[in-house]
Structure 1
Amino acid sequence: MKRTATTVLTALVLAAALTACSSDGTDAAPEKKPLPAPSTPSPAADADTEATASGIPPKPDAAKKLGYLRALNGIDPDIVHGKEDKAVDRGRNQCQTIHNFPKDKPKQAEMAELRFTSPSHPEGFGKLKAAQIVEAVHTNLCPTF
């Protein structure tokens, strides 16, 4: 009997001690804050994020594509040489060079000269036209780089 009384008394003292330690004076349960709803970025935001990260912009819409092709044809019609999609792909890849070497215009022009070729110009279009191509690409396909 003495042992049971001691056990009960010890349990009461421990319970009182635990209650005193964890109590802040209120009996209410702590408030749970709702988790914020996950946001779903728009496809345009995804494309912008991807372009910024990789340096390759999304395919241009019809108006941007037309402006870009007109700019290239204004430099030399043989740059496009009837292969519009290929010219756009080369331009998007050139955007990556512009992105990766933003202050190195000679590097950008060098890569454009290597990238933009045609059957009539297998070695590129020269330094002057390569610099103009870089400007056309930058203005029309990736102006934010």
Structure 2
Amino acid sequence: MRTRTTTAALIVAGLLLTLTACGEDDTAAKPSAPPSLTDEQRSSARAAAGLPPEPSTTARYKFLEALNDIDRRIVDGKDDKAVSRGLNQCSSIKRASGDEDKQVELVKQTLSRFTIDTRLPDIATPETGGEILAAVHQNLCPDF
């Protein structure tokens, strides 16, 4: 009987010690939030990466509308992803400026970046790539 009581007491004591250890201040273990950037810093970083500024609401709408006119499955309800891919394509457009070989390669890259070649092989043509590329250039980075 004593063994059972002693064992039970030890188990209860161990549980209490475990629970009290959970209540200790553990704020040192939490990572701090990253510092937020100012609009100017964000804009500077975008420019350094070869990206245009964030599109206006109107430009964003026109871009998504242009993609939907090509084929509604391109955006497929993922507006933010489509805009992000378009902005990344802008940096490629900027790098290829004036180089005809690179511009031909852009069409292939566009199909890949928008996952047309894997998701929608039935429309993975140079024409579709060119149309998407034109929509990106016209609506997201006309100055590139």
| Paired amino acid for 2:82 | A
Per the alignment, do residues 90 and 65 of structure 1 end up closer, same or farther by CA in structure 2, a change over 3 Å counting? same
Match of 1:105 in 2: 103
Match of 1:125 in 2: 124
In 2, are the aligned partners of 1:69 and 1:80 still within 8 Å (CA)?
Answer: yes
| Paired amino acid for 1:73 | N
In structure 2, list runs of 5 or more residues that go unmatched.
1-38
| Paired amino acid for 2:112 | L
In structure 1, list runs of 5 or more residues that go unmatched.
1-42
CA distance in 2, matches of 1:77, 1:46: 32
Task: Compute the displacement of 1:125 (Å).
Answer: 2.6
CA distance in 2, matches of 1:113, 1:123: 12
| Paired amino acid for 1:56 | L
Percent of aligned pairs with the same amino acid: 37
Taking structure 2 as the reference length, what is the TM-score of the superposition?
0.61
CA distance in 1, matches of 2:40, 2:59: 15
Match of 1:30 in 2: none
Higher relative contact order (CA 8 A, sep 6+): 2
Match of 1:56 in 2: 51
In 2, are the aligned partners of 1:80 and 1:87 still within 8 Å (CA)?
Answer: yes
Q: Runs of 4+ in structure 1 displaced over 6 angstroms?
A: none
Provide Cα deviations, 1:44-94, integer angstroms capped at 9, x if missing partner: 7973x5554322123212111000001111111111011100000000010
Task: Compute the displacement of 1:121 (Å).
Answer: 1.3
5 Å-filtered alignment, 1:80-119, equals 80-103=75-98, 104-117=102-115
In 2, are the aligned partners of 1:72 and 1:79 still within 8 Å (CA)?
Answer: yes
Taking structure 1 as the reference length, what is the TM-score of the superposition?
0.61
1 or 2, which has the higher helix percentage?
A: 2
